Amino acid sequence: MPHQTRTPRARWWTYTLIAVVGLLALAPFAWMISTALMTTGQTLQVPPKLLPSPATLAGIKEVFERLPFGTLVLNTALVSAARVAGTIVIASLAAYALAVIKVPGARIVLITILALIMVPGDIFIIPNYAIISSLHLTNTLTALFVPNVFDVFAVFLLYQFFRSIPRELVEAARMDGASHLRILVTIIVPVARSGIITVALLTVLSEWKELLWPIVVNRSEDKLPVGPGLAMLRGTYTTDYNVLMSAGLLAALPMVIIFLLLQKHFIASVARSGLK
Protein backbone atom coordinates (compact mmCIF):
# COMPACT_ATOMS: atom_id res chain seq x y z
CA MET A 1 0.00 0.00 0.00
CA PRO A 2 1.52 3.33 -0.97
CA HIS A 3 2.46 5.65 1.81
CA GLN A 4 -0.15 8.36 2.36
CA THR A 5 1.05 11.93 2.38
CA ARG A 6 0.27 14.35 5.19
CA THR A 7 -0.20 17.40 3.01
CA PRO A 8 -3.63 18.34 4.44
CA ARG A 9 -2.28 18.35 8.02
CA ALA A 10 0.73 20.43 6.98
CA ARG A 11 -1.53 22.92 5.22
CA TRP A 12 -3.83 23.12 8.24
CA TRP A 13 -0.91 24.03 10.52
CA THR A 14 0.40 26.50 7.96
CA TYR A 15 -2.92 28.31 7.71
CA THR A 16 -3.26 28.35 11.48
CA LEU A 17 0.18 29.87 11.90
CA ILE A 18 -0.53 32.48 9.24
CA ALA A 19 -3.83 33.36 10.92
CA VAL A 20 -2.17 33.77 14.33
CA VAL A 21 0.65 35.92 12.96
CA GLY A 22 -1.85 37.98 10.98
CA LEU A 23 -3.98 38.62 14.07
CA LEU A 24 -0.91 39.64 16.07
CA ALA A 25 0.14 42.03 13.31
CA LEU A 26 -3.35 43.57 13.12
CA ALA A 27 -3.80 43.86 16.90
CA PRO A 28 -2.07 47.29 17.24
CA PHE A 29 -4.09 48.66 14.33
CA ALA A 30 -7.32 47.34 15.88
CA TRP A 31 -6.35 48.91 19.22
CA MET A 32 -5.73 52.24 17.46
CA ILE A 33 -9.19 52.14 15.84
CA SER A 34 -10.83 51.25 19.15
CA THR A 35 -9.04 54.05 21.01
CA ALA A 36 -9.85 56.55 18.26
CA LEU A 37 -13.57 55.87 18.79
CA MET A 38 -13.38 56.41 22.57
CA THR A 39 -13.79 59.53 24.65
CA THR A 40 -10.84 60.91 26.62
CA GLY A 41 -12.37 59.56 29.83
CA GLN A 42 -12.66 56.04 28.43
CA THR A 43 -8.98 55.98 27.46
CA LEU A 44 -7.99 56.73 31.06
CA GLN A 45 -10.04 53.97 32.68
CA VAL A 46 -8.26 51.28 34.69
CA PRO A 47 -8.32 48.52 33.66
CA PRO A 48 -8.36 49.76 30.05
CA LYS A 49 -11.41 49.03 27.94
CA LEU A 50 -11.00 47.05 24.72
CA LEU A 51 -14.06 48.45 22.97
CA PRO A 52 -15.57 51.96 23.03
CA SER A 53 -18.86 52.23 24.88
CA PRO A 54 -20.40 54.13 23.25
CA ALA A 55 -18.37 54.83 20.12
CA THR A 56 -17.84 58.48 19.24
CA LEU A 57 -16.20 60.53 16.50
CA ALA A 58 -15.30 63.36 18.87
CA GLY A 59 -11.60 62.51 18.64
CA ILE A 60 -11.60 62.78 14.85
CA LYS A 61 -13.45 66.10 15.04
CA GLU A 62 -10.92 67.44 17.53
CA VAL A 63 -8.02 66.53 15.24
CA PHE A 64 -9.23 69.07 12.69
CA GLU A 65 -9.78 71.64 15.45
CA ARG A 66 -6.26 71.33 16.86
CA LEU A 67 -4.30 70.86 13.64
CA PRO A 68 -4.41 72.13 10.05
CA PHE A 69 -4.71 68.46 9.13
CA GLY A 70 -5.67 69.06 5.51
CA THR A 71 -2.57 71.21 5.00
CA LEU A 72 -0.36 68.58 6.62
CA VAL A 73 -1.73 65.82 4.36
CA LEU A 74 -1.41 68.02 1.26
CA ASN A 75 2.21 68.85 2.15
CA THR A 76 2.99 65.18 2.62
CA ALA A 77 1.36 64.23 -0.67
CA LEU A 78 3.26 66.91 -2.61
CA VAL A 79 6.58 66.06 -1.01
CA SER A 80 5.99 62.33 -1.52
CA ALA A 81 5.18 62.83 -5.22
CA ALA A 82 8.31 64.92 -5.75
CA ARG A 83 10.48 62.44 -3.88
CA VAL A 84 9.04 59.48 -5.81
CA ALA A 85 9.71 61.19 -9.15
CA GLY A 86 13.27 62.11 -8.22
CA THR A 87 14.05 58.71 -6.69
CA ILE A 88 12.73 56.73 -9.66
CA VAL A 89 14.66 58.84 -12.18
CA ILE A 90 17.96 58.70 -10.28
CA ALA A 91 17.65 55.06 -9.22
CA SER A 92 16.66 53.95 -12.73
CA LEU A 93 19.63 55.69 -14.32
CA ALA A 94 22.04 54.32 -11.71
CA ALA A 95 20.64 50.78 -11.89
CA TYR A 96 20.77 50.86 -15.71
CA ALA A 97 24.41 51.91 -15.64
CA LEU A 98 25.29 49.13 -13.20
CA ALA A 99 23.16 46.28 -14.58
CA VAL A 100 22.92 46.92 -18.32
CA ILE A 101 25.82 49.13 -19.40
CA LYS A 102 28.06 47.66 -16.68
CA VAL A 103 30.26 50.72 -16.40
CA PRO A 104 33.85 50.28 -15.19
CA GLY A 105 33.95 49.78 -11.45
CA ALA A 106 30.33 48.66 -11.32
CA ARG A 107 31.11 45.94 -8.79
CA ILE A 108 32.83 48.40 -6.47
CA VAL A 109 29.91 50.81 -6.78
CA LEU A 110 27.47 48.01 -6.00
CA ILE A 111 29.44 46.98 -2.91
CA THR A 112 29.45 50.60 -1.78
CA ILE A 113 25.67 50.77 -2.25
CA LEU A 114 25.20 47.62 -0.18
CA ALA A 115 27.39 49.12 2.54
CA LEU A 116 25.40 52.37 2.53
CA ILE A 117 22.16 50.44 3.01
CA MET A 118 23.42 49.41 6.44
CA VAL A 119 24.32 52.99 7.48
CA PRO A 120 21.64 54.73 9.63
CA GLY A 121 20.24 57.68 7.74
CA ASP A 122 20.16 59.90 10.84
CA ILE A 123 23.93 60.44 10.69
CA PHE A 124 23.42 62.52 7.53
CA ILE A 125 21.06 65.00 9.20
CA ILE A 126 23.75 67.54 10.15
CA PRO A 127 25.53 67.64 6.76
CA ASN A 128 22.16 67.66 4.96
CA TYR A 129 21.03 70.60 7.07
CA ALA A 130 24.26 72.46 6.34
CA ILE A 131 23.73 71.97 2.60
CA ILE A 132 20.04 72.94 2.68
CA SER A 133 20.83 75.99 4.80
CA SER A 134 23.58 77.13 2.43
CA LEU A 135 21.08 76.89 -0.44
CA HIS A 136 18.56 78.99 1.58
CA LEU A 137 15.93 76.24 1.31
CA THR A 138 15.10 75.89 5.00
CA ASN A 139 11.44 76.17 5.93
CA THR A 140 10.31 75.09 2.46
CA LEU A 141 8.67 71.95 1.10
CA THR A 142 11.65 71.47 -1.21
CA ALA A 143 13.91 70.92 1.78
CA LEU A 144 11.81 67.95 2.88
CA PHE A 145 12.56 65.74 -0.13
CA VAL A 146 15.76 66.96 -1.82
CA PRO A 147 18.22 65.18 0.55
CA ASN A 148 16.31 61.90 0.17
CA VAL A 149 15.87 61.61 -3.59
CA PHE A 150 18.94 59.38 -3.87
CA ASP A 151 17.91 56.11 -2.24
CA VAL A 152 20.57 53.40 -2.25
CA PHE A 153 18.00 50.68 -1.55
CA ALA A 154 15.97 51.79 -4.57
CA VAL A 155 19.09 51.53 -6.73
CA PHE A 156 19.81 48.03 -5.46
CA LEU A 157 16.21 46.87 -5.93
CA LEU A 158 16.01 48.15 -9.50
CA TYR A 159 19.45 46.69 -10.19
CA GLN A 160 18.01 43.29 -9.29
CA PHE A 161 15.23 43.76 -11.83
CA PHE A 162 17.30 45.28 -14.62
CA ARG A 163 19.95 42.58 -14.61
CA SER A 164 17.28 39.89 -15.20
CA ILE A 165 16.19 41.48 -18.48
CA PRO A 166 17.55 39.50 -21.48
CA ARG A 167 20.63 41.09 -23.04
CA GLU A 168 19.26 40.24 -26.48
CA LEU A 169 16.58 42.94 -26.13
CA VAL A 170 19.15 45.60 -25.34
CA GLU A 171 21.59 44.48 -28.05
CA ALA A 172 18.82 44.40 -30.66
CA ALA A 173 17.77 47.92 -29.73
CA ARG A 174 21.38 49.13 -29.90
CA MET A 175 21.79 47.61 -33.36
CA ASP A 176 18.69 49.55 -34.46
CA GLY A 177 20.39 52.75 -33.33
CA ALA A 178 18.48 53.33 -30.09
CA SER A 179 20.22 55.39 -27.44
CA HIS A 180 20.66 54.16 -23.89
CA LEU A 181 18.04 56.63 -22.66
CA ARG A 182 15.51 55.37 -25.20
CA ILE A 183 16.26 51.75 -24.28
CA LEU A 184 15.73 52.57 -20.62
CA VAL A 185 12.42 54.34 -21.20
CA THR A 186 10.89 52.09 -23.87
CA ILE A 187 12.25 48.64 -22.97
CA ILE A 188 13.69 48.40 -19.46
CA VAL A 189 11.12 50.44 -17.55
CA PRO A 190 8.02 48.64 -18.95
CA VAL A 191 9.55 45.23 -18.24
CA ALA A 192 10.55 46.23 -14.69
CA ARG A 193 7.23 47.94 -13.94
CA SER A 194 6.60 45.91 -10.77
CA GLY A 195 9.96 46.89 -9.34
CA ILE A 196 9.41 50.57 -10.10
CA ILE A 197 5.95 50.49 -8.50
CA THR A 198 7.48 48.86 -5.43
CA VAL A 199 10.14 51.59 -5.23
CA ALA A 200 7.41 54.21 -5.49
CA LEU A 201 5.35 52.53 -2.76
CA LEU A 202 8.30 52.19 -0.37
CA THR A 203 9.36 55.78 -1.05
CA VAL A 204 5.90 57.14 -0.28
CA LEU A 205 5.76 55.05 2.89
CA SER A 206 9.18 56.34 3.98
CA GLU A 207 8.18 59.95 3.38
CA TRP A 208 4.77 59.51 5.01
CA LYS A 209 6.33 58.42 8.31
CA GLU A 210 9.24 60.88 8.28
CA LEU A 211 9.52 62.68 11.61
CA LEU A 212 12.98 63.90 12.60
CA TRP A 213 14.20 65.60 9.41
CA PRO A 214 11.10 67.83 8.90
CA ILE A 215 11.36 69.07 12.49
CA VAL A 216 15.04 69.94 11.99
CA VAL A 217 14.73 71.75 8.67
CA ASN A 218 11.29 73.40 8.92
CA ARG A 219 9.74 75.50 11.67
CA SER A 220 6.46 76.79 10.24
CA GLU A 221 3.44 74.63 10.95
CA ASP A 222 2.15 75.08 7.39
CA LYS A 223 5.40 73.63 6.00
CA LEU A 224 5.34 70.39 7.98
CA PRO A 225 4.17 66.92 6.85
CA VAL A 226 1.86 64.58 8.75
CA GLY A 227 4.45 62.97 11.05
CA PRO A 228 5.51 66.10 12.98
CA GLY A 229 1.87 67.21 12.97
CA LEU A 230 0.88 64.11 14.91
CA ALA A 231 3.74 64.72 17.34
CA MET A 232 2.25 68.13 18.18
CA LEU A 233 -0.78 66.37 19.67
CA ARG A 234 1.31 65.01 22.53
CA GLY A 235 0.90 67.18 25.62
CA THR A 236 3.58 68.12 28.12
CA TYR A 237 1.84 66.50 31.08
CA THR A 238 -1.16 64.68 29.63
CA THR A 239 -2.12 63.41 26.20
CA ASP A 240 -5.58 62.87 24.77
CA TYR A 241 -4.90 59.46 23.32
CA ASN A 242 -8.24 59.27 21.54
CA VAL A 243 -7.31 62.40 19.58
CA LEU A 244 -3.79 61.13 18.92
CA MET A 245 -5.05 57.75 17.72
CA SER A 246 -7.71 59.43 15.57
CA ALA A 247 -4.99 61.46 13.87
CA GLY A 248 -2.88 58.33 13.44
CA LEU A 249 -5.82 56.51 11.88
CA LEU A 250 -6.51 59.34 9.45
CA ALA A 251 -2.82 59.49 8.52
CA ALA A 252 -2.57 55.73 7.99
CA LEU A 253 -5.65 55.35 5.79
CA PRO A 254 -4.07 56.74 2.58
CA MET A 255 -1.14 54.33 2.83
CA VAL A 256 -3.44 51.39 3.53
CA ILE A 257 -5.53 52.23 0.46
CA ILE A 258 -2.44 52.65 -1.74
CA PHE A 259 -1.02 49.32 -0.58
CA LEU A 260 -4.29 47.50 -1.19
CA LEU A 261 -4.42 48.88 -4.72
CA LEU A 262 -0.79 48.01 -5.52
CA GLN A 263 -0.22 44.90 -3.41
CA LYS A 264 -0.15 42.61 -6.46
CA HIS A 265 2.82 44.46 -7.94
CA PHE A 266 4.52 44.71 -4.54
CA ILE A 267 4.27 40.97 -3.82
CA ALA A 268 5.37 40.10 -7.36
CA SER A 269 8.44 42.33 -7.10
CA VAL A 270 9.47 40.91 -3.73
CA ALA A 271 9.10 37.37 -5.09
CA ARG A 272 11.14 38.15 -8.19
CA SER A 273 13.93 39.94 -6.33
CA GLY A 274 14.09 37.14 -3.78
CA LEU A 275 14.64 34.50 -6.48
CA LYS A 276 17.84 36.12 -7.74
Express each pLDDT in 15-52 by its tens digit. Answer: 888 888 888 888 888 888 888 888 888 888 778 778 88
Please report which residue ranges of the chain form alpha helices under DSSP H: 7-36, 40-43, 58-66, 69-96, 106-117, 125-134, 142-145, 152-162, 167-175, 180-183, 189-191, 193-208, 212-217, 226-231, 241-274
**Rounded CA gap, 220 and 75, in Å?**
12
pLDDT(236) > 70: no
pTM: 0.82
pLDDT(270) > 70: no
Q: Which has more confidence, 268 or 168?
A: 168
pLDDT tens-digit readout, 54-110? 888 888 888 898 888 889 999 999 999 999 999 999 999 999 999 888 888 888 988
pLDDT at 90: 94
Rounded mean pLDDT of the chain?
85
pLDDT at 80: 93
